[in-house]
């Protein structure tokens, strides 16, 4: 195999890994993980409204004038969370499911698995880019557009990742 063929083979592998990295990056979180933040916000809002209800009940217990709903303090979110929280989650989940179905049910990956997969793929691509740079330097071939500058400089992967200079 000639140097040109070797260089092209390395570049083909880099291209394939880049495609795989992009596919992993497009993976959505599983439904439970995607809704975790909303669920936490609803629970916090429920707790705030429960406290508002306690205060209101104490005030009504010793009221000297009639109370109305406008008398309640706070924003609408705690009230909605308290009264409709589970229904809101169900509605959001149904809408997310419909959107994902319309998109052909793209793959999902848990965050930790996604991060580990990306790290492994990016590490492999970076090693190939360093191999590519060695061949380019040895042969005088043209450098590929978009090559990671850190690979050109020979910076170790972990240091380049930590510095945020991989892409």
Q: Tell me the pLDDT tens digit for each residue of 99-114.
A: 999 989 889 999 999 9
Q: In whole angstroms, give the CA distance from residue 129 to residue 57.
A: 67
Phi, psi of 164, deg, nearest 5: 75, 30
Q: In whole angstroms, give the CA distance from residue 96 to residue 45.
A: 22
Q: In whole angstroms, give the CA distance from residue 100 to residue 159.
A: 37
Higher pLDDT, 124 or 87: 124
Q: Can you list the alpha helix ranges (DSSP code H) found in the chain?
A: 3-25, 31-61, 76-102, 111-139, 149-153, 157-163
Which whole number is the average pLDDT over 81-100?
A: 84
Identify the three-state secondary structure at position 28: strand
Higher pLDDT, 125 or 50: 125
Residue extents of the structural domains in the chain: 1-27+111-166, 30-62+73-108
**pTM of the prediction?**
0.71
The string of pLDDT tens digits covering residues 26-58 is: 999 999 898 898 888 888 888 877 777 777 777
Tell me, what's the pLDDT at 86? 81
Tell me, what's the pLDDT at 125? 96
Higher pLDDT, 78 or 104: 104
Q: Which of 56-60, 91-95, 124-128, 142-146 has the lowest mean pLDDT?
A: 56-60
Q: In whole angstroms, give the CA distance from residue 143 to residue 18.
A: 17
pLDDT at 82 over 80: no
Q: In whole angstroms, give the CA distance from residue 6 to residue 19.
A: 20
How far is C-alpha 53 from the geometric centre of its chain's CA atoms?
Answer: 36
Higher pLDDT, 5 or 145: 145
Tell me, what's the pLDDT at 75? 62
């Amino acid at each position: 195999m000639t140097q040109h063929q070797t260089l092209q083979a390395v570049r083909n592998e880099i291209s394939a890994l880049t495609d795989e990295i992009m596919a992993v990056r497009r993976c959505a979180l599983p439904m439970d993980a995607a809704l975790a933040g909303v669920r936490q916000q609803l629970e916090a809002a429920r707790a705030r409204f429960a406290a508002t209800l306690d205060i209101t009940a104490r005030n009504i217990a010793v009221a000297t004038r009639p109370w109305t709903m406008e008398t309640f303090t706070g924003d609408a979110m705690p009230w909605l969370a308290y009264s409709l929280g589970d229904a809101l989650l169900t509605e959001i989940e149904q809408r997310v499911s419909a959107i994902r179905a319309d998109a052909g049910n793209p793959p999902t990956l848990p965050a930790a698995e996604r991060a580990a997969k990306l790290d492994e793929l990016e590490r492999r691509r970076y090693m190939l880019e360093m191999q590519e740079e060695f061949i380019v330097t040895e042969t005088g071939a043209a450098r590929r557009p978009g090559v990671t500058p850190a690979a050109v400089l020979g910076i170790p992967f972990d240091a380049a990742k930590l510095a945020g200079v991989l892409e």
